[in-house]
Amino acid sequence: MSVDDNPTARGAAMAREKLAQAKADAAKRGQLPRREPRRRAGGARRESGDPQLFGRAIADLLADRGWERSAAVGAVFGRWADIVGPDLASHTKPESFEDGEVLIAADSTAWATQVRLLARTLVRRLNEELGTGTVTKVKVRGPQNAPRSTGGLRVTGSRGPGDTYG
């Protein structure tokens, strides 16, 4: 069987030809390949142009920019319902994280009170997710600009029941 009849032999011959052509082009440019294999230092070392796993690239980017904690806090905010449970999550929302303090908005004063009662548990649970000592305090904000009830018995200029919206 000749090279022309065998597709595998034909492909190998074509690969050898292309390799020889690439080496000749490199020699013209003065970039001959090294004769000895490259020695690697202990452990895996990545050259700047080498491909890497996507997750590792993201982790390196976050570390280089100092965004690790912000990304972790964002992940916790995104998984709020998984962390605190669906009942509490349906009535509360984390709004910010600064200097170890998490601000949580509640949709009613009753839920704001509930969160205040659960503050220690929330700090412990959030520190399990983010690392010990990351969260030191939970601050709760009740509803803002709640709708006023309309009815026949209202005093003109009153602000409504102060203990309900605040």
User: What tens digit of pLDDT does each residue of 60-69 get?
Assistant: 887 888 887 7
More confident residue, 90 or 153: 90
- Burial class from Cβ neighbours inside 10 Å (0-12, 13-18, 19+) for residue 29 reads exposed
Two tokens, residue 161: 């029941």
Q: How far is it, in rounded angstroms, from Cα 32 to Cα 26?
A: 6
Query: What's the DSSP call for residue 43?
Result: S
- Examine the pLDDT at 108 and tell me if it is beyond 50: yes
Assigned domain for 127 exists: yes
Please determine, for residue 147, whether its predicted confidence score (pLDDT) is greater than 80: no
Residue 24 lies in a domain: no
Q: What is the percentage of the chain residues whose pLDDT exceeds 70? A: 71
Q: What is the mean pLDDT of residues 143-159?
A: 63
Q: In the chain, what's the furthest Cα-to-Cα distance?
A: 105
Q: What is the mean pLDDT of residues 66-95?
A: 86
What pLDDT shows up at residue 139? Answer: 92
Residues 65, 67, 69: CA angle, nearest 5 degrees: 150
Is the Cβ–Cβ distance between 134 and 127 less than 8 Å? Answer: yes
Look at residue 123 and tell me whether its pLDDT is greater than 80. yes
The answer to the question of residue 104 being in a domain is yes
What backbone torsions phi and psi does residue 4 show, to the nearest 5 degrees? -70, -30
Residue 52 lies in a domain: no
H-helix segments, the chain:
7-29, 54-65, 68-78, 80-84, 86-91, 109-117, 119-130
Number of domains in the chain: 1
Q: Return d(Cα 9, Cα 39) in angstroms, integer.
A: 33
163 within a domain of the structure (yes/no): no
Instruction: Read off the pTM.
Output: 0.53
Judge whether 108 lies within some domain.
yes
CA distances from 73 to 51, 76, 83, 100, 126 (A): 29, 5, 12, 11, 9
Spatial CA neighbour of 166 closest among 91, 104, 113, 103 = 113
Residue 1 lies in a domain: no
**Domain containing 122: what range?**
92-145
